[in-house]
């Protein structure tokens, strides 16, 4: 397959992702499609902006963007690349500047950060809100800088929440700090406890239970439909425990397997609060998953199914053997990438590819390229942030992997 075909397929998938979904949230599928994008001509600009209220108060956003782009342009100029590249950069920067000066509406923005991807040559113009603050940064290259996104996304698995009680339900999906609610489901036919009339207690009890069962079945079916459109990897059941436990049995198998927690919740809870509760559960799970994977990796090193350190990890990525990549947060190292075959090396001063003899392009951060490569070939990537981060940096060279074979 040619480079062009691959790129077009990635673009098509990105378009499909954007149009199929009712939400403008970043999905794991979008990140995957972004990871495969390249420009053969023109430039790919990635702009990350800190959107915290404090930062927004310090300086007007268009002014900040201008300063950032001017600095980046000067740095590129000093590097003295080809003239036509500078021209592309200039045009793209101007378009971005115009956008932030004339079009961007801050009032509609809820997020701690923002990322803009712009590559006019291949018609890419995408903006995403980010749930956590990011440093102001601009990258210019032949592909999007998605490392920051991957780092954030990895902390936020797409998570479903089902609030359930005996007559109502609410369905939510949370990803990267955004929350969406489906329709509020109501089963008004459930009789109240007060209008028992002349029924015997036992008969009345059974009557109610039939209703509840029907209600639970309907919610389970709605949940199946909702989470088919908005895929999740984790599910939280919320409400009174007796209800969430009873409801769990009604879920289709694949959803039941995704249940990670039962949490107490009131029906009339605000979206913001649901979001906060989900993030709490998420973070506890992440720390636990991190510890488990770290141990699995240690075991893999012992049996020869794992690698540690930059050199060995890049080699494994070059051989497409990486199943799980682990990186200590903030780990950066120089290296080079083959412009012909994509071979990666941590030897930044090497000029020809050991594999195909092609020219190598030096990079200040080969770890970023390693993460991009892993998005394409690995099942998962774990950025180690918790207590294990220091250990990972000091004892394991900051990076490692569990191999497929």
Tokens of 316: 């494994």
CB of 356 to Zn ion, least distance (A): 3
**Which helix (H) or strand (E) covers residue 117, if one does?**
strand 113-119
Q: Which residue has the tokens 């190598």?
A: 360
Of the candidate residues 6, 16, 183, 356, the single one contacting Zn ion (CB under 5 A) = 356
How many residues make up the chain in this entry?
405
Binding piece for Zn ion, criterion CB under 5 A, among 27-35, 259-267, 298-306, 355-363: 355-363
CB of 336 to Zn ion, least distance (A): 10
Q: Which of residues 358-377 bind Zn ion (CB under 5 A)?
A: 358
Of the candidate residues 355, 364, 376, 390, the single one contacting Zn ion (CB under 5 A) = 355
Tokens of 353: 């590819």
Residues 26-44: b if buried by 16+ CB within 10 A, e if exposed: bbbbbbbbbbbbbbeebbb
Closest by CA to 65, choosing from 19, 115, 18, 29, is 115
CB of 142 to Zn ion, least distance (A): 16
Query: Which parts of 304-357 fold into alpha helices (H)?
Result: 310-318
CB closer to Zn ion out of 17 and 346 = 346
CB closer to Zn ion out of 140 and 338 = 338
CB closer to Zn ion out of 162 and 360 = 360
As beta bridge partners, residue 383 has 327
Asked whether 155 and 286 are in contact (CB, 8 A), the reply is: yes
CB of 182 to Zn ion, least distance (A): 48
CB closer to Zn ion out of 119 and 369 = 369
DSSP summary character for residue 102: I
CB of 181 to Zn ion, least distance (A): 49
**315 contributes a contact to Zn ion by CB under 5 A:** no
Closest by CA to 18, choosing from 146, 154, 108, 127, is 127
CB closer to Zn ion out of 4 and 352 = 352
CB closer to Zn ion out of 92 and 345 = 345
DSSP summary character for residue 352: B
- How many of the chain's residues bind Zn ion (CB under 5 A)? 8
- Max Cα separation, the chain? 90
CB closer to Zn ion out of 13 and 38 = 38
CB closer to Zn ion out of 231 and 357 = 357
Taking the CA of residue 288 as centre, how many other CA atoms within 13 Å lie in the half-sphere pointing to its CB?
Answer: 7
Q: Which of residues 316-345 bind Zn ion (CB under 5 A)?
A: 338, 340-341, 343
Binding piece for Zn ion, criterion CB under 5 A, among 295-303, 321-329, 352-360, 384-392: 352-360
CB of 352 to Zn ion, least distance (A): 8
CA distance 159 to 25: 13
Q: Which of residues 85-124 bind Zn ion (CB under 5 A)?
A: none
CB of 400 to Zn ion, least distance (A): 24
CA distance 281 to 287: 10
Tokens of 49: 């902006």
CB of 355 to Zn ion, least distance (A): 5
Tokens of 195: 């209008």
Asked whether 350 and 337 are in contact (CB, 8 A), the reply is: no
Kindly list the residues in this chain that would bind Zn ion in the complex (CB under 5 A): 338, 340-341, 343, 353, 355-356, 358
């Amino acid at each position: 397959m040619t480079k062009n075909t691959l790129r077009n397929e990635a673009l098509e998938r990105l378009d499909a992702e954007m149009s199929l979904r009712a939400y403008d949230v970043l999905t794991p599928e979008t990140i995957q499609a972004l990871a495969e994008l390249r420009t053969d001509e023109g430039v790919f600009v990635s702009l990350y902006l800190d959107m915290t209220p404090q930062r927004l108060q310090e300086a007007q956003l268009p002014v900040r963007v201008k300063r950032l782009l001017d600095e980046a342009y000067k740095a590129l100029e000093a590097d003295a690349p080809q003239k036509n590249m500078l021209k592309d950069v200039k045009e793209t920067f101007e378009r971005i500047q115009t956008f932030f000066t004339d079009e961007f509406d801050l009032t509609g923005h809820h997020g701690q950060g923002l990322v803009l991807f712009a590559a006019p040559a291949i018609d890419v113009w995408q903006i995403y809100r980010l749930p956590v603050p990011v440093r102001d940064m601009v990258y210019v290259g032949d592909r999007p800088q998605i490392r920051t996104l991957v780092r954030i996304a990895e902390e936020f698995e797409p998570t479903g929440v089902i609030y359930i009680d005996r007559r109502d339900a609410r369905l939510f999906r949370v990803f990267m700090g955004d929350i969406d609610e489906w329709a509020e489901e109501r089963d008004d036919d459930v009789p109240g406890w007060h209008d028992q009339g002349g029924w015997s207690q036992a008969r009345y009890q059974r009557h109610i239970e039939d209703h509840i069962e029907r209600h639970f079945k309907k919610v389970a079916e709605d949940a199946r439909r909702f989470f088919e459109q908005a895929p999740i990897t984790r599910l939280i059941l919320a409400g009174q425990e007796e209800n969430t436990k009873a409801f769990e049995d009604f879920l289709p198998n694949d959803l039941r397997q995704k249940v990670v927690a039962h949490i107490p919740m009131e029906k009339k809870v605000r979206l913001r609060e649901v979001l906060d509760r989900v993030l709490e559960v998420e973070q506890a799970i992440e720390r636990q998953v991190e510890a488990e994977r770290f141990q699995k990796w240690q075991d893999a090193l012992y049996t020869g199914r794992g690698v540690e350190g930059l050199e060995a990890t890049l080699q494994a990525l070059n051989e497409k053997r990486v199943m799980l990549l682990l990186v200590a947060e903030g780990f950066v190292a120089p290296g080079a990438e083959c412009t012909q075959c994509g071979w990666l090396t941590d030897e930044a001063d090497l000029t020809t590819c050991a594999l195909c003899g092609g020219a190598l392009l030096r990079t200040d951060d080969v770890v970023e390229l390693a993460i991009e490569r892993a998005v394409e070939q690995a099942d998962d990537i774990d950025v180690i942030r918790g207590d294990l981060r220091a250990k990972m940096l000091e004892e394991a060279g900051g990076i490692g992997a569990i191999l497929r074979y």
